[in-house]
Amino acid sequence: MVVIFIVSSDLGSADHTRPVLASIVRRFLPWLALRMTPEMIDVTDFIIRKIAHVTEYAVLCLLVSRSVGVKQSSPLRERFVPAGISSLYALSDEFHQSFVPSRGATYRDVMWDTVGAIIGSAALNMIHLRQRQK
């Protein structure tokens, strides 16, 4: 949760992450840094940010699943409750970001977060299915 809060704050804004990405590329991939335009850095930053949305909410969904006690024997509809809880958290996170001057609240980010939560729930369902087959 601390990681989610940090990336939801001013420190997680694109204005702060783009320079970090550019310095990482310059440091570890100098041959690529010579060829990257500012637009390419913007696109790369955008892609990384969306992958982060999906990943962090997939992990959040798995943690919520554990905390609410989702088991192999749980009915299918109960196994998707953690995805719903994670999506509600995504809504509250975007609401919080609407008060941070350098951040903005977007429904698209809630969508990305919800996709991540559904992926986390689906992954847990696949794990449970494989365990039942053994």
Higher pLDDT, 126 or 33: 126
- Assess whether pLDDT exceeds 70 at residue 2: no
**C-beta separation of 57 from 109 below 8 A:** no
**How much is the pLDDT for 117?**
97
**How much is the pLDDT for 35?**
85
The Cα–Cα gap between 23 and 14 comes to 14
CA dihedral defined by 79, 81, 82, 85, rounded to 10 degrees?
170
- Assess whether pLDDT exceeds 70 at residue 12: no
The winner for highest mean pLDDT among 24-33, 36-45, 107-116 is 107-116
pLDDT band at 11 (very low <50, low <70, confident <90, very high): low
DSSP secondary structure, 64-80, as one string: HHHHHT--TTS-HHHHT
